[in-house]
Amino acid sequence: MHFYGSAASTYERYAAERESFLDRARAVAALTIPHLLVEQGYRGTTDLPTPYQGIGAQAVASLSSKLLMALFPPNTPFFKLQVDPYKLDEVTGDPAVRTEVETTLNKIEQAVMAEVEAEGYRPALFEAIKQLVIAGNALVYLPPDGGMRVYKLDRYVLKRDPSGRMMKILLKEQIAPAALPDELRALIPDAKGPEDTVDVYTCIHRIDDKRFEVYQEVAGEVVDSTMGEYTEDTLPYLALRMDEVTGESYAYGYATQYLGDLKSLEGLSQGLVEAAAMASKCLWLVDPASPTRARTLADSPNGAIREGREQDVSMVTMGNKAADMRIAFEAAGQIRDRLGMAFLMSTGLQRKGERVTATEWRVLSEELESVLSGSYAALSASMQLPLVTLIMDRMTRERRLPKLPKDIVHPSIVTGVEALGRGADLMRLDQFIAGAMQQVGPEVLAQFMNMGDYLARRATALGLVTDGLIKSQEQIEAERQQMMQAQMVNQLGPDAMKLAAQASQQEQQTDG
């Protein structure tokens, strides 16, 4: 089952639906980082637009780096292999096996993270996140071997059903004929020169609820050797979205929400720069009726003495334009502050000329991160979890990981929304303890507070496994009994303790 018509005609038909999203993304890129999404027909020798301000580029870089650190923290697994305890008990019948299983799964998690670092996925992921911030869409390809590839929105088209499920993807690549395999190069007309490129289309479409078919088409011909089938979990093409729109195949970038501010800041910055350039120009006027000649002043070196009257010579100034420039400067400053808050730039969080307390900083940061929780949720579902599944599947096929039973073990994401929720729980827990200790004191608090439960909740908020870390109530009671016996030995002596033990045994025998 293939596309109706050739891949080239289908691509052009789907491109019409993509056009409005692509135009808006290009408008954002022109005001932020122009080379991330260039205009149609761009060549390496074409000049890119140069914004009058760098706030847009700084904003995109700031938000993208924070998203990368939040979604893929270095040296820390961003996922955890969860075990279904009920199914595990059904298979093994021994609850003690859970600890051994979780130890093995932890080793697998570390192996997957080592694979992420060794293959250099992080730069490609950073590029994909920047594309999502600006364009809202990016296509990530994880080949069977080698590094990750990222395709911009102007390189592919797609179709989703009303529920958002992926139905079709068409990827268009322009490749030199010499770089193609012999089988594909044989399909290209001989007129193609060594410096020309040929369009290679990768076609992906859904067969049923769980399977996709993938093949390539060159010069209108389907290459049979490239055909293959994948399940949803093993499809190596990830069509990512950021700000999704219900019923739409494409999404909008986070920065498109602030396109108005970016345009306004660009216009104000251009006006301020040009006005500053005019204000910095030094232009002298000489009264035409004055005996002092203009050439005399122009040819005079610095510090020279010439005859003339001061009132016959004047400098051109901008008059009252300084007040007008002040208005433009203040308006641009307000826009910069709004963009700083929206894109998590530290300069946008700080109040000018005032000392920001640690509590105020934390509240502002958490408020901004909560605004991005929707983006975290979307990226966790469409980016993090499928990426983990693909990496584990590739490592399993290469026999670098053991095959895991999917009905018992499954990966779950531990960053993004979940991490934000745990962080909020931890903050509220600490605020409760600090407030209670301040109001009633540590002695009274110790009488009413269950310390073991508090430690367990704090460890949960930090995402820690407490098995073997926090003492159980039975361990605490046993240690308390040992401590009491040691104190009695010190007070009464060992002989008295022996007599007490013998009396206790006789009493037990009498009761028996």
- The pLDDT score that the predictor gives to residue 463 is 55
Q: Give residues with Cβ within 8 angstroms of 69, minimum separation 6.
A: none
Residue 265 included in any domain: yes
CB 242 within 8 A of CB 253: yes
- The pLDDT score that the predictor gives to residue 508 is 59
* CA angle 140–25–165, rounded 5-degree value: 45
- The pLDDT score that the predictor gives to residue 364 is 46
Residue 487 included in any domain: yes
Distance CA 240, CA 222 (A): 27
The total of structural domains in the chain comes to 2
Residue 349 included in any domain: yes
Domain endpoint, select from 364, 382, 406? 364
Residue 286 included in any domain: yes
Domain endpoint, select from 364, 387, 405? 364
H or E stretch at 227: strand 221-231
**Residue bearing tokens 């961003």:** 78
What pLDDT, in 10s, does the model give residues 144-193? Answer: 887 899 999 999 999 999 888 899 999 998 887 777 777 777 777 664 55
- The pLDDT score that the predictor gives to residue 270 is 92
Residue 325 included in any domain: yes
- The pLDDT score that the predictor gives to residue 256 is 93
Which residue range(s) make up the domain with 317? Answer: 261-299+309-364
Return averaged pLDDT per consecutive 10 residues of the chain, 512 residues in all: 72 92 94 91 80 93 85 78 72 61 78 86 92 94 88 94 90 82 71 69 91 89 86 91 88 92 94 86 83 83 83 78 84 91 68 51 52 71 87 88 81 64 65 80 75 69 58 73 74 61 63 57
Residue 343 included in any domain: yes
Residue 467 included in any domain: no
- The pLDDT score that the predictor gives to residue 258 is 93
